[in-house]
Structure 1
Amino acid sequence: MADLRALFSVNDRALTSTEAFTNRQAQWERVTTALDEHLRRIAEPGFTVEDFEAARDNVVVFYGIGGIGKTTLSRKLEAALTDPAQRPSQWGEPSWGEQQLVPVRIDLSRSSGLDFEQVVLTIRLALAAHLNQPLPAFDLALRRYWERNHPAEPLEEYLRRAGLGAKFGQALPQQMQNALSDVAQALLMPGTVGSVIGQVTGSLVTALRERRQTVRALAGCALLADLLEAEPTLDALSYYPHLLAWELTQLPAEQQVVPVILLDTFEDTGDRTHRDLERLLQRIVWLMPNALFVITGRSRLQWADERLQGQLDYTGPAAWPGLVARDVPRARIPEQLGDGERQVLIGDFAPEDCDDYLARRLTSNGRPLLSDAVRQTITVRSHGLPLYLDLSVMRFLELRRSGRTPEPGDFDTDFPALIARTLQDLTPDERHVVRAAALLDAFDVALAARTAGLAQEAAALRLIERPFVREQPFSIWPYSLHAVIRSTIRTADDRTDDAWSPRDWQHAAERAHTALGAQWRAGAARDRKLLVACLRQGLALAAEFDLDLGWLQDATWQYIGDSVWEPLPHTRTAEAQGGGLGSTTDALVETLSALARRQHEHRGRTVDRLTTVIDAALLPAELHDLALYYRAKALRDIGRSTDSRHGYQQVVEGGGRLAQNARRGLAQAARLAGDFPTAYDAAQHLGWEGRHQRVLGDVLWLQGQPERAADAYLAGRTEAEQHAKAGEAAHCQALRALAVAFTNPEQADDELDLAQQLLAPLSLRATGINAAIAALVRDAGDPTVEDRVCTLRTELDVAGLTSMTPTLELALAFHQAVLDDQQALATTIARLRELTRDGDFAYYVDIAHCMASLPLPDGHTAPRWLDGATATCARWRSVVNARRTHRS
């Protein structure tokens, strides 16, 4: 079908614009499956339309956000069911063979102006056009209703004015008259009375009550007399479809038909408070169980919800098994109807479907008018929403009218029309909530309501049922807005009547930020996932709207305290600011991003990023110390020990939360310099906060006492677990594995397994390498060790963890000493001497000589061992000898 709007937008007669229909094969298959099941059910011997208690499974619902293609699908289904030639080839052949179907599509949108009378008339008109014969029971009731409620307007004139006559013809009035005349004749009434419905109805009711043989054709309809006696109101009209369903069952076998009634734009029938039209429509569905109804709208049907009792006539899972929400126990559904899901969310187009749509939407001389690059840009921006594709096509034509060729950059935009289409059927409170929710990556009902500033959650509860709200039920916040809807609400020039001002957005962001902090504080003390989730959203909001840090400061300390380092948002980082930082939040985002990323990038890069933060001087004092402390650690990792010690000293002098950690850094600096007594004495005063057990272990294994070091690391791991510090526990365990590996390779297997378990959920690159070095020590003497050392050297170079390279080389020296490979060991010692010429780790040269019983060169400066060089050297020599014995 030609797209008239596009054709009337250009002068190019070579341009072809069609309303392209992109593959909805899954939806077609759902309809054909439902229709197959429906045909089998109504063909069963026990089926009757007069069973008003049996559950109904004659409904298929397709729902989705505005612009997803529901109306297009409804039209295509009608066309495919009417004429096989109009069925897309990829949909395949249906299985119902010669069964006569009567598709009836009814547009319920407000713009169509359709009322309930027209819905009933449309169904009867479609059958009249197909069957071309009266359906007496229904026609008599309808004739009585019409003359009572439209006394001055003949049905023929009404059909002409409503446009129904042009669509279906004018057969119905004559069929109704024939039905009236036939009944009058059967009752032996005078011919002139045949046009007086009141007299005929009265006589017919009497005959039905008396069970006269003359009306036996209608006597089988048990409730006909009651319906003819009832006051012919709109409410009574909603029960007449039962008569229509009954009449269809009376047709001869060769005339049997199955109506397929497509109700489109169902959302326009009302809302949660006003369900009057919905109640009348539901009666049609219930009272015509031999018809299949395909309903399209923006929301799921709630008919299976028992809470609607009183608002609708037929509710609950036993009444509508196919409409049950997934969280309702399936045991409550009648077994004979199975548990097939009959409510189907219309999903976004796949990227290939988007491209296919755009390629076929506008063509010139049989070739796509939109270039590959333009189509790709639109596809990415659309997130699969067909309405966005259509709006992009109109933008393309608009740009062509301006005299230039549209380029991909022209479509990196949002469309305000999407906002109007999305919000048009929402209540004012729901519109308010959806704007508030657009500030959030994800939300729950409480968070959305608090962000919107509402005292009640009712609007948020209604909002989450909308199809443009995505659900991830196992997430901390299970709901999120469709990506393109959220982007548009946030960035497009909103021209709706209740659009928000910049101040409105600011106030909502402040409420969201406060609500996130409240959720974090109310959560479990060690709920890491909640902490990270709140930080991610809170930092993004604070950065965008220049909010005070508030609860983010305490959350930051908890984040770094666990040493897990999940990624956090990179919004408005130093790079995005052109090398500078604009606010306190920007500085905090950059700090946390640098700390998380240091596990994946060179530590020199970490130093640069933290230096930018420190130089900006935007952070509060304690958070400024945070940047100083971690820069000092990164400086140590890249071998700049003097600068590292200076940074630690600054933090100690500041006396903040990290002062004790910085004292540990100074103690470790003493250890690196070979001043073991100073490091050992400092460890006695560090306490848990300064990780005293780890510092002790680091000193002890270097003295050739790995057993004592392993005990200290175990104590450190235990303390970390008691304080729920997962990162510290993993770090102590990796070091314990290293210590144990020197003396007990079998036990080291278990220790390494535990280290890997503790590391699995974390992002601790250096700790992982410590575990890998421990595995090398465990396998000393194995031929694969040297190749693994080469691999680890490369990894350390890439990571910028220069300070770990000497330890790796010492592990290699141990391996070579165990093999008594003097030549290879000499090479390794030379490499160690080069690596430690600045003084840090120089004692590794001493340990390597001790392992091989080699004399130290003249002029070598010995470290300050805890109990002297002779005892220490003897212990290291015994460790090597024990491993040789173990291998033999």
Structure 2
Amino acid sequence: MISLPRPDLNALFRTNNRALTPVDVFANRIEEWEAVRRSLAAVVAQRRAADFDVEDVQHPRHNVLALYGVGGIGKSTLSQRIAERLSGAPGPEHWTALDERFGRVLPVRIDLSHQAGAGFESVMLAVRLALAEIGRPLAAFDLALARYWEHRHPGEPLEDYLRSHTFLNRYDRGGNLREQMASTVGELAQLVGIPGAALAGRALHAAVRSLRERGRNARALSGCRRLPDILEAEPTEETLAYAAHLLAWDLAQIPAADSVTPVVLLDTFEDVGDRVHRDLERLIQRMVWLMPNVLFIVTGRNRLRWDDQGLEGQLDWVGPECWPNLVPGATADPRQYRVGYLSPQDGEDYLSRRLVVDERALIGEEIRRVLVRRSGGLPLYLDLAVMRFLDLHERTGNAPAVDEFDAEFPALLARIFRDLSDEERDVLRAVSLFDSFSVDLAAAAAGLDRDSAVLRLTDRPFVETAPGAVWPYHLHELVRTAVRSADTSSEDRWSERDWRRAAQRAFDALGAEFERGGREPSRRVLLGCLRQGLSLARDHDLDLGWLADAAYAYVQDFVWEPIESGSSTNLDAPATALAASLSAIAQRQRQHRSLTAERLREVLAAGTLPAGLRELPIYFLAECERDLGNLTVSLEGMRAVADGGGRLAPDAARGILHLTRRLGHFPEAIAAAEGLGAEGKKERTVGEILWTQGSIGPACASFAQARDLAVDRRQHGEAALCQAYLAFSAAFADRARAIEQIDRADHMLRGSQARFAELQVTNARLLADAGHGSDLLDRATEAATLASHNGLSSCVAYAKFALCFHAAVIGAPDLLRTGREWLGESVRGAEFAYLVELTYFMTGEQAPADLPRARWIDGTEATRARWTGLVLDRRREISGRRGE
């Protein structure tokens, strides 16, 4: 994928080691070359089409291929290689050859950088000089050029001018232009009856006027109907730009057998497109528009904005109607391409071949791997790293260690900053505080009251875009890191106070985004605000402010997306303590509850959380203690939160009730549930109690009502949990309905991090298959083991209970005895003893005298009858299926 065509002079003059072979490595941009081939094919096909009219100046244009990317990505080298390959040079070995059906291709590459000093006149002359290779006069354009030259450079022969300008020397090959223009002027002299030698100055003007008066003669000279108008116009650069139309006309008159497709490569276009008044860009765009039979390949740091209707008045043709292929998302070539970063494989090859001693890579494999990872595909970083490696190697005589490359490269930042205005620099610094951002967030963080600088920055190629994201923009990570850590030498660098002020503005802007979401913000907005807000508050020691509301909004649902906690040990600041709390609470869905409990104890011991947030770790620690079977400790934590009257007090009240239910005190539990209200999730709590009584229909109705209420409140995690409970309860009574509810629960849980709900659905499947399958023991064992690994004691007990229900349905005393003994392992005192008692209700047996008895809502016998009925109903269902 890499070719080695040229020596690297920069490296060559940094060492005296004659064995070292430094090479200017070029990453073969195969995708970009294929875009060139497709674009060339499109322009050739358009030019050859029967309905193509070179004089049509109204239809949209499809003749611009734009390749843009961050500085140092290799755009100029790519432009050079394309020009060489189009001129017939071998080029990189992996580039596909041009299709012979394209015919003759004539490239002309023009450097538009400030250093090159090219004005529009030079651009047009360069194009015309290159086209002189065709070997025939281009009469219409040459007449306009002769008229322009006599007016702008009176008395100065064109050949003398070309000899004195190094920029144009490279395009003047053998004086062909002088001969072709002389031929055209001679033809003009014959038409107007003036000796050719006298056609200069006023005589030339008179000849043109004569042509104008005798338009038929002008058309006889070239056949172009707009030629007389251009010849009569004031011969300025504006007119010269319109004369590009004449050049396109002349090209179109060449017989098909001798036809040629020019490819004009305009490099360093950012030095044109970013100029304030866009005067040069306007003239170049006019040339491009008026030459539809020419392919233009534009390379620069920024995407072309010719599709932007807002540039109307600054440029002649703007908007998607004029340039449909330049709009974002266009799929037809030629179009705009961001020159991509190097792949890891290309980065590895680049480093392994850049410095070679005795055909062996000087940079070792370990360092190459580290540098490729850190580069993020940015060739400029790799180039700077190579120079650093070479300097260190030559200084010590040994290969430098990996940690020698921990420092950032200020030169990387300098290359980026040099293309930005002062406002854009401030925006870049401000957005480096964000993982992702929007235009509004960027403007607020930078302290701007208008968006123009932000919009310009988002057009920069080092700003990545993620369509559909809440905040669609983010910096290339290497650029972001460099801005935050290497901005130490720029004249307008920020002080620590500047960074803190910007961080506060960014934090406040995120808070405004959260508030705009209302009390129940979009989940994606909530998560984005939390993650970025916690990072800003932690890194810049900001007051938590709106983060408290966001934290409670996060835990009131049950989706539990990961929240990064930052430092794993440092809890000495409120932001780190809050981040650690939320991270531990979320991670409990994927780890044993004991680990979560330990982390929450550490947060509480640190004592850095504000009083209004301490109930968060206290409540969820109590939940973990309950799941681990430590009911007394759990009850103490729940009572502390409930008595505090904070935001989690209703949840703590429900937690106390939940503990009461585990002990089998159901009349007390149902009475307490009536007082919970919506905030305490009354409907779900009632359903949790009713299924234990064998009242499956009312339990399902409660869970369905709870689910619908949660959906209305946009509490999707709570809704999914209620659906999981509904599937679990339905599985005792109606297998067909249970399967539907299980499928719905799976759908609602997709993408969530709710382990308890997932395990409840697993148990629902066990219950739905009770009496039907022969592998229930193995499946129940697997489900219980999985729940045990997460420290979810209730899910462990429910899996064992499902096995007992299956044994009762199929009438298998031995399996039932095994299931009861297994379930008995979950019983601690009165906790979960009610589940064992229910296994005796199923079969009409008496429970052992030493088993703690539950207090059932409407008495033991009524409850026993319902559970016996559930077993008999399942048996009848199975018998009915067998008889079908």
Please report the TM-score for the alignment, with normalisation by the length of structure 1: 0.91
Confirm or deny: 8 A CA contact 1:143 1:197 kept in the other structure.
Answer: no
Task: Please show how residues 571-582 of structure 1 align to structure 2 within 5 Å.
Answer: 571-572=566-567, 575=568, 579-582=569-572
Question: Does 1:346 pair with 2:331?
Answer: no
Question: Does 1:415 pair with 2:409?
Answer: yes
Distance 1:660 1:92 in 2: 70
Aligned twin of 2:559: 564
Which whole-Å deviations, capped at 9, do the CAs of 1:818-874 have from their partners, x for residues lacking one? 222222222222233333144421233322233344444454443334455455445
Aligned twin of 1:710: 700
Confirm or deny: 8 A CA contact 1:137 1:247 kept in the other structure.
Answer: yes
Confirm or deny: 8 A CA contact 2:208 2:232 kept in the other structure.
Answer: no
Question: Does 1:320 pair with 2:323?
Answer: yes
* TM-fit CA distance, 1:787: 1.6
Confirm or deny: 8 A CA contact 1:139 1:179 kept in the other structure.
Answer: no
Aligned twin of 1:385: 378
* TM-fit CA distance, 1:566: 1.6
Aligned residue among 237, 240, 255 for 2:240: 237
Aligned residue among 19, 31, 36 for 1:31: 36
Number of residue-to-residue matches in the alignment: 870
**Aligned pair in 2 of structure 1 residues 133, 803: CA closer, same or farther (>3 Å)?**
closer
Question: Does 1:886 pair with 2:877?
Answer: yes
Question: Does 1:806 pair with 2:806?
Answer: no
Confirm or deny: 8 A CA contact 1:140 1:176 kept in the other structure.
Answer: no
Which whole-Å deviations, capped at 9, do the CAs of 1:784-841 have from their partners, x for residues lacking one? 2112102102211221213432222122112112222222222222233333144421
**Aligned pair in 2 of structure 1 residues 291, 830: CA closer, same or farther (>3 Å)?**
closer
- Secondary structure, counterpart of 1:295 in structure 2: strand
Question: Does 1:692 pair with 2:682?
Answer: yes
Q: Which moved more, 1:498-507 or 1:852-861?
A: 852-861
- Secondary structure, counterpart of 2:115 in structure 1: helix
Aligned twin of 1:357: 350
**Aligned pair in 2 of structure 1 residues 862, 284: CA closer, same or farther (>3 Å)?**
closer
Confirm or deny: 8 A CA contact 1:184 1:193 kept in the other structure.
Answer: no
Distance 1:700 1:203 in 2: 105
Which whole-Å deviations, capped at 9, do the CAs of 1:694-753 have from their partners, x for residues lacking one? 333333333444444334434443444454433333333333333332233333233333
Aligned twin of 2:882: none
**Aligned pair in 2 of structure 1 residues 7, 737: CA closer, same or farther (>3 Å)?**
same
User: Alignment identity in percent?
Assistant: 44
Aligned residue among 519, 529, 532 for 1:534: 529
Aligned twin of 1:2: 7
Aligned residue among 120, 123, 127 for 2:127: 123
Please, which runs of 5 or more residues in structure 2 have no aligned partner? 1-5, 880-884
- Secondary structure, counterpart of 2:337 in structure 1: strand
Distance 2:743 2:51 in 1: 65
* TM-fit CA distance, 1:453: 0.7
Which whole-Å deviations, capped at 9, do the CAs of 1:40-90 have from their partners, x for residues lacking one? 3323455454443444322222122222221111101100011242x2232
Distance 1:703 1:674 in 2: 10
Q: Counterpart of 2:778 in structure 1: which amino acid?
A: D
Question: Does 1:548 pair with 2:543?
Answer: yes
Q: Which moved more, 1:346-355 or 1:582-591?
A: 346-355
Please report the TM-score for the alignment, with normalisation by the length of structure 2: 0.92
Aligned twin of 1:819: 810
* TM-fit CA distance, 1:602: 0.8
Task: Please show how residues 182-193 of structure 1 align to structure 2 within 5 Å.
Answer: 182-183=186-187, 186=190, 193=197
Aligned twin of 2:182: 178
Confirm or deny: 8 A CA contact 1:381 1:412 kept in the other structure.
Answer: no
Aligned twin of 1:523: 517
Distance 1:239 1:708 in 2: 83
Aligned residue among 751, 756, 760 for 2:741: 751
* TM-fit CA distance, 1:97: 4.8
Aligned twin of 2:628: 638
Q: Which moved more, 1:836-845 or 1:777-786?
A: 836-845
Question: Does 1:366 pair with 2:359?
Answer: yes
Aligned twin of 2:73: 68
Confirm or deny: 8 A CA contact 1:143 1:176 kept in the other structure.
Answer: no
Question: Does 1:202 pair with 2:206?
Answer: yes
* TM-fit CA distance, 1:454: 0.5
Aligned twin of 2:279: 276
Question: Does 1:677 pair with 2:667?
Answer: yes
Q: Which moved more, 1:19-28 or 1:219-228?
A: 219-228
Question: Does 1:472 pair with 2:466?
Answer: yes
Which whole-Å deviations, capped at 9, do the CAs of 1:129-174 have from their partners, x for residues lacking one? x245654554454345445434576544543443233563461574
Distance 2:768 2:251 in 1: 84
Aligned twin of 2:106: 102
Which whole-Å deviations, capped at 9, do the CAs of 1:619-663 have from their partners, x for residues lacking one? 122310111010000111111112111211221232222223222
Q: Which moved more, 1:66-75 or 1:714-723?
A: 714-723
Q: Counterpart of 1:362 in structure 2: which amino acid?
A: L
* TM-fit CA distance, 1:607: 0.2
Distance 2:765 2:221 in 1: 91
Confirm or deny: 8 A CA contact 2:635 2:659 kept in the other structure.
Answer: yes
Question: Does 1:395 pair with 2:400?
Answer: no
Aligned twin of 1:772: 762
Distance 2:705 2:203 in 1: 101
**Aligned pair in 2 of structure 1 residues 677, 185: CA closer, same or farther (>3 Å)?**
closer
* TM-fit CA distance, 1:600: 0.8
Q: Which moved more, 1:101-110 or 1:202-211?
A: 202-211
Confirm or deny: 8 A CA contact 1:468 1:485 kept in the other structure.
Answer: yes
Distance 2:877 2:647 in 1: 47
Aligned twin of 2:115: 111
Question: Does 1:294 pair with 2:297?
Answer: yes
Q: Counterpart of 1:821 in structure 2: which amino acid?
A: A
Distance 1:720 1:212 in 2: 83
Aligned residue among 777, 786, 792 for 1:786: 777
Distance 1:417 1:472 in 2: 28
Confirm or deny: 8 A CA contact 1:814 1:880 kept in the other structure.
Answer: yes
Confirm or deny: 8 A CA contact 2:62 2:334 kept in the other structure.
Answer: no
CA RMSD after TM alignment: 2.9
Distance 2:220 2:711 in 1: 85
**Aligned pair in 2 of structure 1 residues 751, 57: CA closer, same or farther (>3 Å)?**
closer
**Aligned pair in 2 of structure 1 residues 663, 172: CA closer, same or farther (>3 Å)?**
same
Which whole-Å deviations, capped at 9, do the CAs of 1:556-586 have from their partners, x for residues lacking one? 11111122212222323xx2xxx34021011
Q: Counterpart of 1:631 in structure 2: which amino acid?
A: L
- Secondary structure, counterpart of 2:25 in structure 1: coil
**Aligned pair in 2 of structure 1 residues 656, 199: CA closer, same or farther (>3 Å)?**
same
Distance 2:871 2:754 in 1: 30
- Secondary structure, counterpart of 1:111 in structure 2: coil
Q: Counterpart of 2:876 in structure 1: which amino acid?
A: T
**Aligned pair in 2 of structure 1 residues 708, 7: CA closer, same or farther (>3 Å)?**
same
Aligned twin of 1:740: 730
Aligned residue among 585, 589, 597 for 1:595: 585
* TM-fit CA distance, 1:501: 1.8
Please, which runs of 5 or more residues in structure 1 have no aligned partner? 328-337
Question: Does 1:614 pair with 2:609?
Answer: no
* TM-fit CA distance, 1:591: 0.8
Aligned residue among 653, 656, 661 for 2:643: 653
**Aligned pair in 2 of structure 1 residues 493, 216: CA closer, same or farther (>3 Å)?**
closer
Which whole-Å deviations, capped at 9, do the CAs of 1:477-514 have from their partners, x for residues lacking one? 12222222222212224432222222111111111111
- Secondary structure, counterpart of 1:238 in structure 2: helix
Confirm or deny: 8 A CA contact 1:434 1:463 kept in the other structure.
Answer: yes
Distance 1:43 1:732 in 2: 67
Aligned residue among 608, 611, 617 for 1:627: 617
